[in-house]
């Protein structure tokens, strides 16, 4: 258990060579590929070692030329994308939302066969135990009794409710199955929760950048979005939110505290608690999107806002689409004190969630293996994050900054400010590569030179070549 | 093909016996069970023969005592439930809708194991080829490529869109696959269509009684319902609707022109066309709920409002839940000129409809057998309608009137006016029998002495005994 990982050993050796003067300041060190061949270690090991040395300020990467020993060994500035700042009065204003058309159009391009799905919002489906879930579904269909068709009325199938509650317990949150309402994916859960707590014309506080599904929910219900500055490492600025609440009524707040899409941060526990306490002081409901919660890279499941919720103001939404199977679109809400309203709205919105998928997932969770599957996925994503960060910084021109996700599978990339990411998106598409343009992550016209990249697919020559091409296009657009 | 059905032969023999004086006016004829044994024909045959003779005015049924030769052979008054009439000014007023809580509560009781599901809105699931669809689903899951997870974005999987269009063509309606948007059941389709054409506070014209899902859609969006008198045989009173539209703005109209739930009528073609022309004159969108369209008892698929739609004002909604499988909750909308809005709202509401169910149903439709399956179901429902009508009239007290559904699988029963159907519902439930109280089919406090009965299950001693018990309870409550 306490074995030092290979990449650390390798990094330590390299650090020793530098200390010993074998490698001099300013000198270029072996490329990842060559080092991997020379030392007979995997590309991943080399990349992680280089990342570690970079983070220690021992080496530095020069875009498109490789790694170099630093002139003076000092802590490196982290190349994180810059935060939106509360630097002008426009921040104080809520806005109407109309981003769905653009999002739908870009998502559809991801569907096209043969594209390299760097712009995809979905995790690589090959990672999912779909076969096992499908086998359970088949068995359930064969043995279905006549009454079983009725089990899918809200709140949902009792076995699934129980299994979800059990899973929360394993992750340190005590949940009564009765608190849960099954939905068609987290999308429906978020929609129902928002409708339960606010009405058309109301102002909803959101992170910026924010996952577009949050903006969709606001758009669908004719509400207004108030974008709150959000730190790429600490999440929504609770102080800024509190300030803004003094100037205008805020009906609710929607956040993704763990591994936010697109930033990838994990809000510190203290910030989570601070947000919930603020909500309590103002009786403001908080909708928590927790779909990436299971995809942490750390040692344990991060806490949810729900862990700090004493008054039922947190409406927690999640799904299995990012952790087990997206084919069935099974999600849920734990709406706290708004449970009755959410259950009723679920009934009105889609009547019922299909039975067989609910029971198949419940059976999978009962039989076990979910945690083992997740451990494998988490390890893969953590490695692929390192590779994606490494190669973006290598292939993209100077001025590029990348996030450092703590979970999930997307990277947020700030390009040189001259780059029009929508134009980049279109040029990439012409080459059979998708990227998600930053524009879709805001209600207002922000993030014009940002993109989001998906790293849920195993690293391959195809992905590396695609990324290199994207880097070239970025360079063209930057000049 | 031109073979005379057995029940007609049997009816003709019986009619001849009456004409010949073998059976005299006022004389009791053999009970269904005894006649079935005597003549070695099925109970169904006897019931249909008796029904035919009754409709010809040759015999008559006396509640709880059986069939008798009529005193004078004359056309019988049809025992149809009475129509709500435009007889007081309250008709002119639209109302807020809040019926979902009651509906959800009653639907949940149907879930209880071991109840006799006379109150169920669902067709008997044993009639569905669920196994075959599940086999396709299993095969699709096994062979799923990585890209296949993206196919479920709106408007839906191309194969399914094509198969649905083909099916319409077979039924005489030319549809472009591009007109269709796949949804989570017809419930979501109706919700999206209504949201596309009207806004909170608007008035929506509905049939009365109406299927509660229509009322739910209105309630969910904070609109108002305007109930239009609806004939149990001809459907919504188009003239009355036109009159009411003179007194107030009506944003849209929602109807179920074929085999309406709960009345079971099929609107005459001329009335369908008249409604669409009225809509055209006023640029009023009409939402058509077509979920029972495939369950006709006649010789051919009835026309839809969509057949008369020249200007794209008909938003046609349907699903496979009543005709093929309810386990997957696959529905669709053909929203005419509102297609783009509906597709966008679908995306906002639930993002996507699960892929595997879409592809499994598409595969089923491609492989063939749907029409054969439907013919079997239609035959069964037509026979079971006759049995249910027969036994209701036999077991229920005088003053009971029943609808004569032309398709689908529900019977609308008017009880003696003293009967409180909610109380009946509760007493039945205590005996393990469900009935659907009429109250849930109106936004206003109507149909207090009506119930709806489901006849999709094959006739059995258990159902017959249950119905007898219900009849007894009705009698108690009537006095």
Per residue, the 3-state secondary structure of chain A, as one string, reads CCCCCHHHHHHHHHHHHHHCCCCCCCCECCCHHHHHHHHCCCHHHHHHHHHHHHHCCCEEEECCCEEEECCCCCCCCCCCCCCCCCCCHHHHCCEECCCHHHHHHHHHHHHCCCCECCCCCCCCHHHCCHHHHHHHHHHHHHCCCHHHHHCCCCCCCHHHHHHHHHHHHHCCCCCCHHHCEEEEHHHHHHHHHHHHHCCCCCEEEEEECCCHHHHHHHHHCCCEEEEEEEECCCEECHHHHHHHHHHCCCCEEEECCECCCCCCCECCHHHHHHHHHHHHHHCCCEEEECCCCCCECCCCCCCCHHHHCCCCCEEEEEECCCCCCCCCCEEEEECHHHHHHHHHHHHHHHCCCCHHHHHHHHHHHHHCCHHHHHHHHHHHHHHHHHHHHHHHHHHCCCCCEECCCCECCEEEEECCCCCCHHHHHHHHHHCCECCEEHHHHCCCCCCCCEEEEECCCCCCHHHHHHHHHHHHHHHHHHC
Task: For chain A, positions 440-479, list CB contacts with chain B under 8 A.
Answer: none
Q: What is the helix (H) or strand (E) element at residue B424, kind and residue range? A: helix B421-430
pLDDT the model gives residue B461:
93
Inter-chain contact A345–B220, Cβ cutoff 8 Å? yes
Concatenating the DSSP letter of every residue in B444-467 gives SS--TTEEEEE--SPP-HHHHHHH
Inter-chain contact B153–A107, Cβ cutoff 8 Å? yes
Task: Kindly report the CATH number assigned to the domain that includes residue B464.
Answer: 3.90.1150.10
Inter-chain contact A350–B185, Cβ cutoff 8 Å? yes
B157 and B116 in a common domain: no
Whether B374 shows a pLDDT value over 60: the answer reads yes
B112 and B42 in a common domain: no
Q: Do A180 and A374 touch, CB atoms closer than 8 A?
A: no
Interchain contact A345–B (C-beta under 8 A)? yes
B470 and B396 in a common domain: yes
A382 and A337 in a common domain: no
Name the token pair of A64: 């498109």
Whether A8 shows a pLDDT value over 70: the answer reads yes
* A88: in domain: no
A355 against B191, higher pLDDT: B191
Q: Is B401 helix (H, G, I), strand (E, B) or coil?
A: strand
* A317: in domain: yes
Task: For chain B, positions 187-206, list CB contacts with chain A under 8 A.
Answer: 187-188, 191, 200
Closest residue, chain B, to A108 (C-alpha): B153
The mean predicted confidence, pLDDT, of chain B is 89
Query: Is the sign of the CA dihedral B449, B455, A357, A158 positive or negative?
Result: positive
- Residue B422's Cβ-count burial label (10 Å; 0-12, 13-18, 19+) is middle
Whether B268 shows a pLDDT value over 70: the answer reads yes
Q: Is B230 helix (H, G, I), strand (E, B) or coil?
A: strand
Inter-chain contact A350–B353, Cβ cutoff 8 Å? no
Name the token pair of B2: 């031109």
The mean predicted confidence, pLDDT, of chain A is 89
Residues from chain A that touch B200, judged by Cβ atoms under 8 A, are 200
Task: For chain B, positions 140-179, list CB contacts with chain A under 8 A.
Answer: 141-142, 144, 146-154
pLDDT the model gives residue A88:
53
Inter-chain contact B134–A141, Cβ cutoff 8 Å? yes
Q: What is the pLDDT of residues B35-71, one digit of tens each?
A: 888 778 888 888 888 888 887 778 888 877 888 888 7
Interchain contact B329–A (C-beta under 8 A)? yes
A386 and A354 in a common domain: no
pLDDT the model gives residue B427:
94
pLDDT the model gives residue B90:
58
Residues from chain B that touch A351, judged by Cβ atoms under 8 A, are 185, 187, 213, 329
A221 and A175 in a common domain: yes
Rounded CA-CA distance B127/B107 in Å is: 21
Residues from chain B that touch A124, judged by Cβ atoms under 8 A, are 146
Range of the domain at A394: 101-126+378-478
pLDDT the model gives residue A135:
85
B114 and B207 in a common domain: no
Q: What is the pLDDT of residues A175-224, one digit of tens each?
A: 999 999 999 999 999 999 999 999 999 999 999 999 999 999 999 899 99
pLDDT the model gives residue A154:
87
A257 and A240 in a common domain: yes
% of chain A with per-residue pLDDT over 70: 92
Name the token pair of B364: 């089923």
- C-alpha atoms less than 13 angstroms from C-alpha of B99 in its C-beta half-sphere: 27
Average pLDDT over residues A344-365: 90
pLDDT the model gives residue A155:
92
The partner residue sitting opposite A138, judged by closest CB among B126, B138, B355, is B138
pLDDT the model gives residue B147:
46
Interchain contact B221–A (C-beta under 8 A)? no
Closest CA of chain B from A356, distance in Å: 7
Number of structural domains (chain A) is 3
pLDDT classification of A93: cutoffs 50, 70, 90: confident
The residue among B371, B397, B422 that closes a domain is B371
Whether B89 shows a pLDDT value over 60: the answer reads no
* A93: in domain: no
The residue among A371, A398, A415 that closes a domain is A371
Q: What is the helix (H) or strand (E) element at residue B275, kind and residue range? A: helix B269-282
B406 and B294 in a common domain: no
Residues from chain B that touch A349, judged by Cβ atoms under 8 A, are 187-188, 191, 220, 349
Inter-chain contact A147–B113, Cβ cutoff 8 Å? yes
The residue among B314, B343, B371 that closes a domain is B371
Q: How many interchain CB pairs under 8 A, A with B? A: 157
Closest CA of chain B from A18, distance in Å: 44
Q: What is the pLDDT of residues B108-155, one digit of tens each?
A: 776 666 788 899 998 998 888 988 888 888 888 777 654 455 557 889
Rounded CA-CA distance A181/A335 in Å is: 8
Closest CA to B70 of B44, B50, B43, B45: B50
pLDDT the model gives residue A90:
57
Interchain contact A109–B (C-beta under 8 A)? no
Average pLDDT over residues B201-224: 94
B326 against A303, higher pLDDT: A303
**Cβ of A136: how many Cβ atoms within 10 Å?**
20
Task: Kindly report the CATH number assigned to the domain that includes residue A58.
Answer: 1.10.10.10
- Residue A430's Cβ-count burial label (10 Å; 0-12, 13-18, 19+) is exposed
CA B159, B161, B162 angle in degrees (round to 5)? 65
Name the token pair of A423: 């134009």
The partner residue sitting opposite B124, judged by closest CB among A122, A131, A146, is A146
Residue located via tokens 């091409």: A469
B151 and B10 in a common domain: no
* Residue B132 CB contacts under 8 Å (≥ 6 apart), including other chains: B364, B369
The partner residue sitting opposite A150, judged by closest CB among B100, B111, B344, is B111
- For chain B, the straight-line distance linking the first and the last C-alpha, in angstroms and rounded, comes to 50
Interchain contact A66–B (C-beta under 8 A)? no
Name the token pair of B460: 């059995």
Rounded to the nearest angstrom, the gap between the alpha carbon of residue B33 and the centroid of all alpha carbons in its chain is 29
B158 and B117 in a common domain: no
Residues from chain B that touch A343, judged by Cβ atoms under 8 A, are 104
Residues from chain A that touch B100, judged by Cβ atoms under 8 A, are 344, 347-348
* DSSP at B337: G
Inter-chain contact A354–B327, Cβ cutoff 8 Å? yes
pLDDT the model gives residue A245:
95
Is the ipTM beyond the 0.85 threshold? Answer: no
pLDDT the model gives residue B79:
66
Closest CA to B14 of B37, B44, B39: B39
Interchain contact A359–B (C-beta under 8 A)? no
Q: Do B127 and B377 touch, CB atoms closer than 8 A?
A: yes
Q: Is B193 helix (H, G, I), strand (E, B) or coil?
A: helix
* B88: in domain: no
Task: For chain B, positions 380-399, list CB contacts with chain A under 8 A.
Answer: none
Inter-chain contact B134–A150, Cβ cutoff 8 Å? no
* Residue A111 CB contacts under 8 Å (≥ 6 apart), including other chains: B147, B150, B151, B153
Residues from chain A that touch B351, judged by Cβ atoms under 8 A, are 185, 187, 213, 329
Inter-chain contact B326–A149, Cβ cutoff 8 Å? yes
Name the token pair of A441: 């992550």
pLDDT the model gives residue B311:
97
The partner residue sitting opposite B151, judged by closest CB among A111, A352, A357, is A111
Q: What is the pLDDT of residues A459-476, one digit of tens each?
A: 999 999 999 999 999 999
Inter-chain contact B329–A345, Cβ cutoff 8 Å? no
Closest residue, chain A, to B117 (C-alpha): A147
Closest CA of chain A from B28, distance in Å: 39
* B345: in domain: yes
Residues from chain A that touch B152, judged by Cβ atoms under 8 A, are 329
A273 phi and psi, to 5 degrees?
-65, -40
Q: Do B402 and B412 touch, CB atoms closer than 8 A?
A: yes
Whether B445 shows a pLDDT value over 60: the answer reads yes
pLDDT classification of B74: cutoffs 50, 70, 90: very low
Average pLDDT over residues B90-109: 79
Closest residue, chain A, to B194 (C-alpha): A349
Residues from chain A that touch B131, judged by Cβ atoms under 8 A, are 141-142
pLDDT classification of A74: cutoffs 50, 70, 90: very low
B330 and B457 in a common domain: no
Rounded CA-CA distance B176/A387 in Å is: 46
B410 phi and psi, to 5 degrees?
-130, 145
Query: Is the sign of the CA dihedral A54, A57, A59, A61 positive or negative?
Result: positive
Least confident of A240-244, B28-32, B196-200: B28-32
The partner residue sitting opposite B153, judged by closest CB among A108, A138, A185, is A108
pLDDT classification of B73: cutoffs 50, 70, 90: very low
pLDDT the model gives residue A139:
84
Among B331, B348, B352, B457, the residue to mutate for chain A (most A Cβ within 10 A): B348
Inter-chain contact B142–A120, Cβ cutoff 8 Å? no
* A407: in domain: yes
Rounded CA-CA distance B240/B248 in Å is: 13
Q: What is the pLDDT of residues B270-325, one digit of tens each?
A: 999 999 999 999 999 999 999 999 999 999 999 999 999 999 999 999 999 999 98
The partner residue sitting opposite A101, judged by closest CB among B103, B344, B350, is B344
* A84: in domain: no
Interchain contact A138–B (C-beta under 8 A)? yes
Task: Kindly report the CATH number assigned to the domain that includes residue A311.
Answer: 3.40.640.10
B435 against A98, higher pLDDT: B435
The partner residue sitting opposite A104, judged by closest CB among B347, B349, B356, is B347
Q: What is the pLDDT of residues A245-268, one digit of tens each?
A: 999 999 999 999 999 999 999 999
* Residue B461 CB contacts under 8 Å (≥ 6 apart), including other chains: none
Closest CA of chain A from B134, distance in Å: 6
Closest CA of chain A from B176, distance in Å: 20
Q: What is the pLDDT of residues B380-393, one digit of tens each?
A: 999 999 999 999 99
Rounded CA-CA distance A264/A266 in Å is: 7
Interchain contact A289–B (C-beta under 8 A)? no
* B77: in domain: no
Name the token pair of B272: 């369908």
pLDDT the model gives residue B75:
38
Name the token pair of B278: 């009225």
Rounded to the nearest angstrom, the gap between the alpha carbon of residue A341 and the centroid of all alpha carbons in its chain is 28
Interchain contact A217–B (C-beta under 8 A)? yes
Residue located via tokens 């999002």: A103
Residues from chain A that touch B110, judged by Cβ atoms under 8 A, are 150
Interchain contact B332–A (C-beta under 8 A)? no
């Amino acid at each position: 258990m306490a074995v030092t990982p290979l990449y650390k050993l390798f990094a330590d050796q390299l650090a020793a060579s530098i200390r010993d003067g074998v490698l001099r300041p300013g000198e270029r060190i072996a490329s990842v590929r060559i080092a991997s061949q020379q030392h007979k270690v995997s590309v991943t090991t080399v990349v992680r070692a280089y990342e570690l040395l970079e983070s220690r300020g021992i080496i530095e990467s020069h875009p498109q030329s490789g790694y170099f020993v630093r002139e003076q060994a000092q802590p490196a500035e982290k190349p994180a994308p810059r935060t939106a700042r509360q630097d002008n009065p426009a921040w104080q204003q809520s806005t109407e939302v109309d981003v769905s058309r653009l999002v739908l159009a870009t998502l559809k391009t991801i569907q096209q066969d043969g594209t390299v799905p760097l712009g995809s919002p979905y995790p690589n489906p090959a990672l999912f135990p779909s076969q096992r879930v499908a086998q359970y579904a088949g068995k359930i269909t064969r043995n279905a009794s006549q009454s079983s068709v009725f089990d899918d009325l809200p709140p949902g199938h009792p076995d699934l409710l129980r299994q979800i509650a059990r899973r929360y317990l394993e992750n340190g949150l005590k949940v009564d199955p009765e608190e849960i309402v099954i939905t068609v994916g987290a999308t429906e859960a978020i929609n129902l929760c928002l409708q339960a707590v606010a009405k058309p014309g109301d102002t909803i506080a959101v992170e910026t950048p924010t996952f577009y599904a949050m903006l969709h929910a606001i758009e669908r219900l004719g509400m207004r979005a108030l974008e709150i500055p959000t730190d790429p490492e600490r999440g929504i600025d609770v102080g800024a939110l509190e300030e803004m609440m003094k100037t205008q009524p805020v009906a609710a707040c929607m956040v993704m505290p763990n591994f936010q899409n697109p930033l990838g941060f994990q809000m510190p526990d203290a910030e989570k608690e601070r947000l919930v306490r603020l909500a309590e002081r103002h009786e403001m409901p908080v909708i928590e999107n927790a779909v990436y919660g299971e995809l942490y890279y750390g040692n344990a499941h991060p806490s949810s806002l729900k862990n700090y919720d004493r008054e039922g103001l947190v409406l927690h939404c999640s799904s299995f689409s990012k952790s087990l199977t997206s084919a069935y679109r099974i999600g849920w809400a734990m709406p706290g004190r708004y449970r009755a309203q959410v259950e009723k709205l679920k009934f009105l919105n889609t009547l019922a969630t299909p039975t067989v998928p609910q029971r198949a997932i419940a059976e999978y969770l009962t039989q076990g293996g979910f945690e083992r599957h997740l451990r494998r996925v988490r390890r893969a994503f953590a490695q692929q994050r390192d590779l994606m960060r490494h190669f973006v910084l290598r292939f993209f021109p100077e001025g590029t900054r990348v996030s450092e996700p703590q979970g999930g599978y997307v990277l947020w990339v700030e390009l040189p400010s001259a780059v029009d990411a929508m134009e980049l998106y279109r040029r990439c598409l012409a080459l059979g590569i998708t990227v998600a343009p930053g524009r879709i992550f805001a209600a207002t016209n922000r993030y014009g030179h940002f993109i989001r990249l998906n790293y849920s697919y195993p690293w391959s020559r195809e992905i590396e070549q695609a990324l290199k091409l994207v880097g070239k296009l970025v360079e063209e657009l930057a000049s």
